[in-house]
Structure 1
Amino acid sequence: MNEKRICDRRTVLITGAGGGLGRAYALAFAAAGANVVVNDIRLEAAEAVAAEVRAAGGQALADAGDITSLAGAQAIVDAALTAFGEVHVLVNNAGILRDRMFLSLSEEDWDAVMRVHLKGHFCLANVLARRWRDAAKAGRPVEAPRIVNTSSGAGLQGSIGQSNYAAAKAGIAGLTLVQAAELARYGITVNCLAPAARTSMTEGAMPELVKKPESGFDEWDPLNVASIVVWLGSPLSSHVTGRCFEAMGGRLSVADGWHTGPVADKGGRWDPAELTPVVEQLIRDTRAPQKVYGT
C-alpha cells in the first residue's frame, strides 16, 4: 500500500462535511485514496465540497440525508452503497451549538443539541454496525470497519455556557467506550476525537484566537486535525479502539479518562456524620481535575 494512500479504495461517510472539520476530513481522506460521502444538512455546501474532492482527482458523493433518524441513516447508507459498493468508515462529525448559561436554557435548546449530537451519533453507527456484523457472521467481513466519533474538550472537562453541548459530548465519549467493547468481536474499531480547529463554531465564539496567521504554521487549520482521523479510518489502526484523542495543530494526545481513585474502606456502613474527614482525605489523595473551560 502506498503510505500516502493508506485508505486506497475505501469508502468513508462523513457527517457535517459541508465545511470546517468535516470538509478537511473529506479532502484528507480523498488524498489518502478514499471515496468520500459528503453528508451535510446543507446540500449546496455538501455539493461544493464533493466538487472540490472531484477537482482534486477523487471520488465523492454529496448527500443531505437526515442523520437523526434510523430511516434517514439507512437512506444515506443505501445511497453510499449504490455509488461505491461498500462503506468502510463512518466519521460522526456533525454538530450544532445552542450556547446559554444553564439557567437560561430552553427545552428546545437541550433537545436540539442532544438530537444532532447524541442521536446523530447513534443512527448511522447502528445501521452500519449491523451491516458489518451481518457480513462478518456470513463469512464475508468488510475490510477494517471503522467508526470515529467526535467528542470535545467541553465533554471531557466541561465548559461554561455549554452544559447541553458538554453533556452531549461527554455522552459521546461514554458511547465510544461501550461501542468499542461490544463491536470488537466483529472487527469494528471505535474511537473518538476531541478536536480544536478553526470552524464556524470557533470563529463565532473566539474569532481573534482562531484567526489565520499572516505567516508561519497555522495551528488552527482543520487539516491538522484530519491527519489522525484519516489514520483512525485506515487499516493501520486495527490495534487501537476505545480511545479518545485530543488534537490541535501539531499536538496529539490520548485523553486520560475517569479512573477509580484512592479508596477508603471501613468494612461496614458509614455514618453520614463521620464522612467529612474521610471525603476530605480522599480528595487530598486524588489528582485534581482539569478546570472547566471558562472558569
Structure 2
Amino acid sequence: MNDEIDLGTPAELPHDDFRCGTVALAGRPNVGKSTLLNALIGFRLSIVSPRPQTTRHRILGIATSEAGQIMYVDTPGLHRGAKRAMNRSLNRAARSAISEVDLVVQVIEAGRWTDEDEALYDALVEQKVPRLLVINKVDLAKEKATMLPFVAELMTRHSFDDVYYVSALKEKGLKDLEAGILKRLPVQPPVFGEDEITDRSERFLAAEMVREQLMLRLDQELPYATTVEIEQFKDREDGVAEIHAVIWVERDGQKAIVIGNGGAQLKAIGTAARRHMERAFERKVFLRLWVKVREGWVDDETMLKKFGYTD
C-alpha cells in the first residue's frame, strides 16, 4: 500500500458532497508541523529547520482534490515563558489561528507528551470544533511496542475525535489523515482555484527562504535575533526576478557573523536561498542581500508590525 498523498485532479465543477474547510496544524515547537504541511500539499511551502520556533507566521497551504479542498494553517509553535515581545506575538498568532478554523489537528512527537503539549490542549478544548491527534515521527520511535499503551493512556485523559500515526518526513500515513480530515469538513464549494497552493505572495516566500538559511547556517541563538525584509521584488524585462532583501540583526557583532569572513557566510546564504527561489518561482532570480542593525527589534512592537509579525 502506498501511503503517499495523492491529491488527484480536481473536478471542474464540485460535486454535491464536495467538502471545503480550514484546518489548523497546532503543536509545540519542533514537532514537525511545517514538514507535515509541506507533505500534505505536495509543495515545500513552509520553511523547515531543526531549530524550534522556526515558523513565525501563519502559513496557509491549500490541497485540492476531487473530494474537496483542505486549507491547512501552519501556526507558530505555542510555547510557555514568552518573555520577549516576539514570543508573545507568536503565541497570539497561534491562538488567533486556532480560533477561526473548522477543525484542529494537534501534532505531537511519538512517545512524548510535555507540559507544552498539555497547555496547547487546554487552549484547543475551548474551541468547539473537531480535534484530531496526530502522532508524528513514528519512524523514529525506538520503542514502538510502547506506542499503543502510551496513546491509550493519553486518550483516557484527553478528548480527541481520532488518532493518526504519521511520518511527515517519510510521507507515510498521510492518505488516512487526509480522509479523516475531509469527512469532518463542511460540504461547500472551494474557496481557492484548483491550482492555488497558498494565499502568500512570492515576496513573503522570498523573505522566508532567506530566513530559512539563517536558521540552518547560524549557530546557537543568533537566528532568533534576525529577521528578513524584502525591499524590492520586481520582474525585469528579461524574465529575471530581481529581489533586494535586508537581514536585520540586533547588534554589530551579529552583523559581522552573518556577513562572515570576507563576506563568505552572506554569499552562502544568498546562493542557497536563490536556488530555492528559482525552483519555487520557476524563473531565474537575481538576489542581493544587505545586513543592517536595529537594536532591540525583537522587543519593539512597532518594528515587529513593520516586519509582518501580526496576530
Normalised by the length of structure 1, the TM-score is 0.37
Tell me which of the two structures has the higher relative contact order, counting C-alpha pairs closer than 8 angstroms and 6 or more residues apart: 2
Q: Which has the higher helix share?
A: 1
